Structure 1
Amino acid sequence: MVALTKKNKDLIIVVSGLPRSGTSLMMQILQAAGVPLLVDNVRQSDVNNPRGYFEYQAVKNLKNDNQWLKYAKGKAVKIISHLLYHLPAEFQYKVIFMNRNLDEIIASQNRMLKNVGKVSEIDDDTLKRHYAAHLFDIGRWLTHQKNMEVRQINFHHLFEKPQTELAILSDFLNIAFNTKQIQQVIQPELYRTKITGH
Structure 2
Amino acid sequence: MPQQQTSGPEQGQRFDWWAAAPATAPVPDRPAAAPAAPVEPAPALVPPAASVPARPVPARPVPAHPVPVRPAPTEPDRAGSRSTVVYRSVQGSDAFQEIRRSYRSFVFPTSGAFLGWYLMYVAAQAGAPGLMRSQVAGPVNVAWLLGLLQFASTFLLTWLYARNARTKRDRAALDLRWDTQDQLR
Which has the larger share of strand? 1
Rg bigger for which structure?
Answer: 2
Query: TM-score scaled by structure 1?
Result: 0.23
TM-score (norm 2): 0.24
Q: Which has the higher contact order (CA 8 A, sep 6+)?
A: 1
